[in-house]
Structure 1
Amino acid sequence: MAEGDSPTIARRRVRLALREARERADLTQLQVAEEMEWSLSKVIRIENGDVSISPNDLRPLLNYLGIKDKAVVAALVADARIARTRQRAAWFQMPEFRENLTDHMRKLIEYEGEASEIRSYSIYYIPGPLQTASYATALMRRFEEELTEEQRDRRVRARALRREALLGRTGVQILVMLDESVLRRTIGGPRVFADQLRDLKALAENGTIRIRMVPFSLDAAVTNNASFDLLLLGEGEVLYRETGIDDELVEDREATAKHRARYDKVWHEVADEEDTIEFIRGQIEMLEGMSPREN
């Protein structure tokens, strides 16, 4: 346990330790549930981080899973106590947002409040926390056949709150890598997109984010068909990945390490921050030159 850790980080540490110990012991969640005389849903919810485990439940479970080192047990029990500390209800847990955000997205937002580093890669649009309200609204119009107007409005509001929370933080480094197409796709029309690019440029110039573009001329795909975010949390990383029709959170160490290695490699091959900002400046000037009739 690290002094000052939040309930979010402590809960994650406990559940990962439990899941990894169960897998090492070659046990299924059902076998654990039967041995502990719990419901299967309880085991699943503990491993998913949906609920915290009490110290009294944790001790016998650790023993069953073969974790008997006194120092390790003491550290996990301490984490379990921290994880059960009552926190003020977060905005993304309110009913109006729970109904319009996936479970994985809500967990991602929670982790964004704790991460020390965030690496974001996008192949289609500006990442959610960096979107202006007008850009987000225009993007949501693409889902008119799938979402009601109220649902779209709530998702736009959620992006605004997510942006406020993340960009208002200190002590977090945000790296953004965008495919060149993202900086050319005029979502919302020239005026909306120019405002979005001006906002992105300002965030890069004031040091809130570091941004690099993957130019069309570079044959260095980061991923074949999905945007993703990598968050550094304490001693581990979390991968959030989406394809447009589905999303997922991945905490497997091998998978996150593979994405991190590929991201870092390509980050040093693409256009640097200065060239990327200059490209964005050129795009803004081009959009500003378009006639009002095209807006």
Structure 2
Amino acid sequence: MQYGPAVRRRKLGAELRALRDRAGLTSGQAALRVGWHQSKVSRIETGRSSAKAADVTLLLDAYEVRDAQLRALLEALAGGAEGERGARQQWWHAYKGLLPPAYRDFISLESQACHLRTLETSVVPGLLQTPDYARAVTRASLDGLPEDQVDTLVEIRLARQDVLRGDPPLELSAVLDEAVLRRPIGGYGVMARQLRHLVEVGRELPHVRLQVLPFAAGAHVGLTGPFVMFSFPNIADLDVVVLDHLVSSLYLERKEDLQAYSEAFDSLGEHALPPDDSLEFIAGIGDGT
């Protein structure tokens, strides 16, 4: 178990090492091509040192990597990306003074992922929140925060939702405990609008799959708490599970951890209502609020 930055350094280094091997170069030869000492290449590949986006770009050029999507992903793992695509995807750096590193790291992963699977037991996933609901959640989570900072955090949460309408869009699979739908966050009016929004998104966007885990399902593997699983294009080894705590986030990336959470998510899907029935269930609760 590691925290986000350490996981990303290790995974970035492993992929760069694989690309170097594929190019038929030793670490010394790679260093000569980019004008570095061999030890810098080794430190990056083992995750002992961070790599800047510019460093990654130099290495990818040296290894003659032409895949634009792969280049963007690896540059983003280094904390930034060059060019128009990178500038668009690194929008959150404008809020660097307000966002803690763990949240910036989460947004970066979210922006590069191709599939997100999540179990939520308390609140609607951030990617599906309405502005009023997001504001209520932010106020409750960060009690006493000045109103202008609340406004900014809500703005950030809404900006994150652009990934659902990107090209290609992020595929989102969410299992929602019934408690998420019953808890009137922000009051009954805010909650009613939030539930209608869930139904609208679930019906409008085919890549958003919502399932409700009703109270009637009884005990299930999700009782241990919510989690998020990111999957990435091109590089399966970059998949990671994120567990949120009150003051930090924990990143799990061992194969056995990923397998366990993948199986847990599949089990939750089997216990939950099918997507169409789930949308009807959500609509029914919304009609009663």
TM-score of the superposed pair, with normalisation by structure 1: 0.70
- SS of equivalent residue, structure 1 residue 137: helix
Q: What is the match of residue 66 of structure 1?
A: none
The answer to whether the Cα contact below 8 Å between 2:10 and 2:47 also exists between their aligned partners in 1 is no
Aligned match for 2:276, one of 267, 274, 282: 274
Matched, 1:183 2:181: yes
Equivalences for 1:191-206 in 2 at 5 Å? 191-206=189-204
Sort the Cα spacing of 1:75 and 1:120 in 2 relative to 1 into closer, same or farther, 3 A: farther
TM-score, structure 2 normalization: 0.71
**In the alignment, which residue of structure 1 is the partner of 2:285?**
283
Query: d(CA) in 1 for partners of 2:62 and 2:15?
Result: 8
Distance 1:120 1:37, change over 3 A: closer
**Against the structure 1 CA distance between its residues 146 and 228, is the aligned structure 2 distance closer, same or farther, given a 3 Å change threshold?**
farther
**Distance in 2 separating the partners of 1:177 and 1:76:** 43
Deviations 1:29-76 (A, max 9, x none): xxxxxx9379x9995452xx66564588x7xxxxxxxxxxxxxxx999
| Matched length | 242
Post-superposition shift, 1:221? 2.6
Deviation at 1:216?
A: 1.6
Q: Do the aligned residues in 1 keep the contact of 2:13 with 2:47 (CA within 8 Å)? A: no
In the other structure, the counterpart of 2:235 is 235
Q: Describe the SS at the equivalent of 1:124.
A: coil
SS at match of 2:160: helix
Q: Structure 2: give runs of 5+ residues left out of the alignment.
A: 1-7, 19-37, 76-80
Aligned to 2:98: 100
What corresponds to 2:34 in structure 1? none
| Bigger mean CA offset, 99-108 vs 127-136 | 99-108
Corresponding residue for residue 292 of structure 1: none
**Matched residue, 2:31:** none
What is the CA distance between 1:12 and its match in structure 2? 8.0
SS at match of 1:100: coil
Is the CA contact 1:180–1:214 (under 8 Å) kept in the aligned structure 2?
yes
Q: Check whether the contact 1:179–1:214 (CA below 8 A) recurs between aligned residues.
A: yes
- 1:113 is paired with a residue whose SS is helix
Q: Distance in 1 between matches of 2:138 and 2:197?
A: 19
Q: 1:11 to 1:78 in 2, by over 3 A?
A: farther
Corresponding residue for residue 118 of structure 1: 116
Deviation at 1:105, TM superposition (A): 2.5
Answering whether residue 267 of structure 2 is matched by residue 265 of structure 1, we say yes
Structure 2: how far apart are the matches of 1:112 and 1:202? 22
User: Which residue of the partner structure matches residue 16 of structure 1?
Assistant: 14
SS of aligned partner of 1:145: coil
For residue 6 of structure 1, what is the aligned residue in structure 2?
A: none
For 1:76 and 1:255, the matched residues in 2 are separated by 34
Deviation per CA, 1:3-43: give whole Å up to 9, x if none.
Answer: xxxxxxx99864234799xxxxxxxxxxxxxx9379x9995
The equivalent residue for 2:135 is 137
2:277 corresponds to which letter in structure 1?
A: D
Structure with max Cα Rg: 1
Alignment deviations for residues 81-131 of structure 1 (CA, whole Å, 9 cap, x no partner): 94566234321011xx22332323223322323322211111110011111
The 3-state SS of whatever aligns with 2:168 is coil
Contact preservation (8 Å) 1:55, 1:80: no
**Does residue 256 of the first structure (1) align with residue 255 of the second (2)?**
no
Could you tell me whether the CA contact under 8 Å between 1:215 and 1:271 is conserved in 2? yes
Q: For residues 170 and 80 of structure 1, what CA distance do their matches in structure 2 show?
A: 19
Equivalent pair of 1:231/1:239 in contact (CA under 8 Å): yes
Instruction: Give the gaps of 5 or more residues in structure 1.
Output: 1-9, 21-34, 59-73, 288-295
8 Å CA contact retained: 1:13, 1:79: no
Within 5 A, what are the aligned runs for 1:24-173? 36=39, 44-46=48-50, 53=55, 77-78=63-64, 82=71, 83=74, 86-88=82-84, 89=87, 90-94=90-94, 97-143=95-141, 145-173=143-171
State the Cα deviation string for residues 201-245 of structure 1 (Å, max 9, x = none): 0111122411111122221132513x2211111332122221333
Q: Identity, % of aligned pairs?
A: 25
Q: Distance in 1 between matches of 2:111 and 2:141?
A: 28
Asked if 1 retains the 8 angstrom alpha-carbon contact of 2:12 and 2:47, the reply is no
Q: CA deviation at 1:200?
A: 0.5
In the TM superposition, what whole-angstrom CA distance separates every residue of 1:155-180 from its partner, at most 9, and x where no partner exists? 10100100123334435321111111
Aligned residue in 2 for 1:28: none
Cα 1:54–1:182 shift into 2, 3 Å: closer
Tell me which protein shows more helix as a share of its residues.
2
